[in-house]
Amino acid sequence: MQKMKNTNVVWVLALTAILILAACAQPTPAPTAVPSTNTPEPLPTAVPSTPTPTPIPPIVEPPVFDGAPVAVLPTPAAGQPTATANSNTWIYSGPGTNYVVYAAMNGGTQALVVGVDATKQWFVVSVPVAPNGIGWVAGSAVTVTNAGELPVYAAPPPPPSVAMVPPGPNDPQATALVETMVRSGPGNTYPAYGFAQSGKTALVLGKSADGQWWMVRIDPSKVGAGNGWVAAAFVSTANTDSVPVVQVTGSGSLPPSMVVPPAPVPGAPLITTTDYVNLRSGPGTNYPVIGNAAPGASTTPTGISADGAWFQFAVPTSFYPAGFLWVSSSFVVTINTSNLPVVNAPPPPAAVTTPPSSSTTTADCALVSQTPTDGGSYNPGTPFSVTWVLKNTGQNTWVAGEADIIFEGAINNVRLSQGYDVFDIPNTVNPGQTLSITGNGIAPSSSGSFGELWAIIQNTSGQQVNCPFWFTMIVP
């Protein structure tokens, strides 16, 4: 029994030793992490990329052809801003090759610089013979000195293109060598219709007496007259040896009626004409011309047409009873016109279908004679002249500067006359006196009955006059 007891003691001691060893074998706690004292490397900040500027395309001009008219330019004084042509280049009506060409500027020629466009790619130079006294040259074509701080000129709107009626292969024809203006008569002071695009060819109907202008056929749906004039210097021609000389109405005898619009209101919207333009009774070429405006005429517009193509402005009712006229937006530069009200167009004029009988006498006038008489036969494209002698049979004096000779319409809208639509009477005509008026034109190219209606109109208060007269023809 004693032996068993000792055995138990041994087991107790062994167990105790195992427990002690187990306790000594407990894992050592992990050391606490000490924060690093090193400053972390900062991440690089993203730098926004610099936008690549939109490249301005180079200005590519049409070559200056041999025989091109050369501009006569004033010589700049010492120290004035000066542009010297690097080689032969063009002077344009605006900052772009899509504008009308005025003339050539030969290499080495100097011009007085008066401004620059907003892109600083085009310079404005003094051109006294240009309609508004300035022209534009490409900056890449000239070297400019003494520029300083040049004023920025607003770009005028490019003129509309005129649809040229193409000729047959053997017809008389003219082809535009550059963008060139089409006008209502043979001269730079006749109102502009728009421009003939370079390379376009038109049927030639006639020529001016001095041979410096060609009359060409244009689309009558675009320009009611159906005919226009281009400078011979800017076109090449073919088959024109037998083209007739065409005189324009009023040439050298009747002064055109020029309108000076009312002065603009300071701070108000502004429109300024860029060329000689027609002023009409409504917003469209189907409305009668009431007068003409010279380049640089400024006024405050009162409204704009629904299509944005015409501006309305006020005139004295003593000049035009309706009190408003319209000018094409293609021939004006504008300031602050974005909020103008839209103005409804007045009723368009009734089409002239049959003129009154030549024997009609009104309260204001009587036809004394007409040479040739109405209803004569004319071959297609034949130039003609007609002279009317009108007697003042009314109570009011026809006052020079107040009474106008106005084109009122053509039968079926086929024009016969050329040139201006409105003239001042050449002299005052008292009651009982007569006035002789000569009109010129060209017979239409198609067969039918044609004619035009004109009138002497005076709107002076208490002195109103309405004296109609006309001419008819047959083209077999």
Burial class for 104, CB neighbours closer than 10 Å (0-12, 13-18, 19+)? buried
Q: Same CATH fold, 255-349 and 60-153?
A: yes
Given a contact cutoff of 8 angstroms between Cβ atoms, the answer to whether 385 and 440 are in contact is yes
Q: Which residues contact 399 (CB under 8 A, 6 or more apart)?
A: 428, 458, 460, 463
- CA angle 387/374/185 to nearest 5° reads 50
Band of pLDDT at residue 55, cut at 50, 70 and 90: low
Domain 60-153 has CATH 3.40.50.720: no
Strand segments, DSSP code E, in 109-151 are 110-116, 122-126, 134-138, 142-145
The per-residue pLDDT for 37 is 47
Q: Does the pLDDT value for residue 464 go beyond 80?
A: yes
Q: Which CATH number among 3.30.565.10, 2.60.40.10, 3.40.50.12780, 3.40.50.2000 corresponds to the domain 365-475? A: 2.60.40.10
pLDDT digits (tens, 9 = 90+) for 1-21: 334 334 333 333 333 333 333
pLDDT digits (tens, 9 = 90+) for 31-48: 444 444 454 555 555 555
Domain boundaries defined on the chain:
60-153, 173-238, 255-349, 365-475
The per-residue pLDDT for 27 is 46
Band of pLDDT at residue 94, cut at 50, 70 and 90: very high
Q: Does the pLDDT value for residue 320 go beyond 60?
A: yes
Q: Which CATH number among 3.40.50, 2.60.40, 1.10.287, 2.30.30 corresponds to the domain 255-349? A: 2.30.30
Helix ranges restricted to H, 50-156: none
Band of pLDDT at residue 359, cut at 50, 70 and 90: low
Q: Does the pLDDT value for residue 454 go beyond 50?
A: yes
- At position 5, the amino acid (one-letter code) is K
Strand segments, DSSP code E, in 281-430 are 289-293, 298-299, 301-304, 310-314, 324-328, 332-335, 365-371, 376-377, 383-392, 404-410, 422-424
Segment 151-165 shows an average pLDDT of 92
Distance CA 175, CA 196 (A): 9
The per-residue pLDDT for 202 is 97
Q: Chain-centre distance of CA 407, in angstroms?
A: 24
What share of the chain in percent tops pLDDT 90?
A: 66
- At position 466, the amino acid (one-letter code) is N
Distance CA 107, CA 64 (A): 11
Q: Does the pLDDT value for residue 414 go beyond 60?
A: yes
Query: Can you give the pTM of this predicted structure?
Result: 0.81
The per-residue pLDDT for 356 is 60
| Average pLDDT over the chain, rounded to an integer | 86
At the fourth CATH level, which superfamily is domain 173-238?
Answer: SH3 Domains (2.30.30.40)
